[in-house]
Chain A
Amino acid sequence: MKLRQSAAFAAIAVLALTATACGGKSGSAGDKQAAKPGQSGAPQLPTYTVAKDVTVDSPTFKAAKARGKLIIGSKADQPYLGFEDQSTKVRSGFDVEIAKMIAADLGFTDKQIEWKTVDSGIRETAISKGQVDYYVGTYTINDKRKKLVGFAGPYYKAGADLLVRKDETSITDKSTVKGKKVCSIVGSTPLQEIKKPEYGAKVVELAKYSDCVQQLLTKQVDAVTTDDSILKGYAAANPGKLKVTGHPFTQEPYGVGMNKDDKALRDFVNTSIEKHVQDGTYKKIYEATLGLSDAKYVAPPAVQRY
């Protein structure tokens, strides 16, 4: 009898715990997006013409053709950039659309794409081991990574910025974070940046940006720092509560990651990006995704072929 009582007590307590834990997580990004792409009044996404009889002298492309589908790596927790709706499994966002646009040029339809969520820490591994054909997801091009993977692009220029509560007046740019609690992801580039003594910030490191945003909303931290593109997505996902300061303090050019030695595919993707910047598809994608966060359209930088 005693056992039964304590078991019941424990069950109730565990339920209570999970309920609080989940309750604490509600309102994480993506539960409610301000304006979903495809909603009336929102800018419409472009449709992509799937190319026929594409030939690219690329081992990655040939392997994908042989298996009949393309495996694309992306992020799943960045609203308006790379986001996966947990209930419908539908992917949306700027990075996702760029990936689809390239896939269409390669001759793959939507149905022939298999998405793989790849966390930041294992991107190089997933790409170099061939687990994904290419990867699109806030992937900053830098020299160290170029030793391990190939980059097409850049297709977008981001920069580290600060996300603060709407009513925040004391944090306006990087020089005003002295003594403030700033949150970012364990081991990430923006975290290394904000840890520098010149900023004088108190740093909180968590596993996910949605955790950081949660902490910001509950006033446990004063700001969240990472690429402005990601922050804009969160600001849009929490309408009227958060804002981005709008003074980026680093340069983060985003590229499409792929096998290091697959020059043919790299050139093809670069051409694809150039073509769609020119024909206006790129701008349409932007307006229907990141543009929804009231961030103005900026023409992308020129691609770097190598």
Chain B
Amino acid sequence: MNVLLDNFSEFRDGFIGTVEITAVSSVIALVLGLLLAGFRVSPVPPLRFFGTAWVTLLRNTPLTLLFLVFFFVVPEIFFPGMSPFLLGSLALGFYTASFVCETVRSGINTVPLGQAEAARSIGMTFTQTLRLIVLPQATRTVIPPLSSIFIALTKNSAIAGAFSVTELFGWQKLMSDQGYDIVPVFVWVALGYLVVTFAISGAFRLLESRMEVAR
């Protein structure tokens, strides 16, 4: 208990940092993931190729390596002086977007083909079909796996701590350096992450129940 009370301001900063980078990366991942899923089911070959390449590349790259590239290589080529927080959010967001894309795509595949065909036959464009007919039905299917993805993102944000982003896991290093026993420190850090991940799974459960329909 002492370790937390004596160092609460650092703990709080770390917790806020984790929440911030999780929130920003989640938004990036969700928007990009949806876009990529649209690309991958679109009738335009270059877009399909782009989506496939993105997913294949980013999903199979270790996240630490991606952070390395973003932090050490990207600023040297373009956007020098970008803040570590933004670089970290982009790395995490781009990486998670590939997972979101695949989840959304599998959700789209659960919508019977007849639905899309019916939409087309009454004269809807591809975008309209996706927006009004397919995605609303796909959403219900993808909510549970999406929740897992965002929980994973929260925990993955710990890697950003090694790249100049203040976050919860960095607090452990600070406490260890000051000579606190490692076990209670890890317990507090774990509890901090639990608060965030529980909030995420709670929000998704709420969404799930709101979107329930009789099939």
Across the interface, which residues of A come within 8 angstroms of B161, CB to CB?
186, 205
- Knowing A24-B68, A24-B73, A218-B76 are in contact, say whether A187-B164 is a contact too (CB < 8 A): no
Across the interface, which residues of B come within 8 angstroms of A17, CB to CB?
61, 65, 69
A179 to B174, CA, bound (A): 24
Is B128 in the interface zone, CB < 8 Å from A?
no
Determine if B170 and A186 form an interchain contact, defined as CB atoms under 8 angstroms apart.
Answer: yes
A204 to B84, CA, bound (A): 8
The smallest beta-carbon distance between A260 and chain B, in angstroms, is 11
The smallest beta-carbon distance between A77 and chain B, in angstroms, is 14
Is A196 in the interface zone, CB < 8 Å from B?
no
The smallest beta-carbon distance between B21 and chain A, in angstroms, is 14
A218 to B162, CA, bound (A): 18
Across the interface, which residues of A come within 8 angstroms of B65, CB to CB?
17-18, 21
Is A63 in the interface zone, CB < 8 Å from B?
no
The smallest beta-carbon distance between B189 and chain A, in angstroms, is 12
Is B118 in the interface zone, CB < 8 Å from A?
no
- Residues 165-186 (chain B) with a chain A CB within 8 angstroms: 166, 170-179, 181-182
B36-62 Cβ-contact flags toward A at 8 Å (1 or 0): 000000000000010011001100110
Determine if A21 and B73 form an interchain contact, defined as CB atoms under 8 angstroms apart.
Answer: yes
Is A120 in the interface zone, CB < 8 Å from B?
yes
Main secondary structure of the interface of A (DSSP, over half): helix
A145 to B178, CA, bound (A): 7
Is B163 in the interface zone, CB < 8 Å from A?
yes
Partner-binding segment picked from A3-11, A44-52, A67-75: A3-11
Q: Which residue of B lies closest to A23 (CB)?
A: B73
Residues of A within 8 A of B (CB): 2, 6-7, 9-10, 13-14, 17-18, 20-21, 24-25, 120-125, 142, 144-145, 147-148, 185-189, 192, 204-207, 211, 214-215, 218, 220
What are 29 A-B residue pairs whose CB atoms fall within 8 Å in the complex? A9-B56, A9-B57, A10-B53, A10-B57, A13-B53, A14-B61, A21-B65, A121-B172, A121-B173, A121-B182, A122-B182, A124-B179, A124-B182, A144-B179, A147-B179, A186-B161, A187-B170, A188-B173, A188-B177, A192-B174, A204-B84, A205-B161, A205-B164, A206-B163, A206-B164, A207-B163, A211-B72, A218-B76, A220-B75
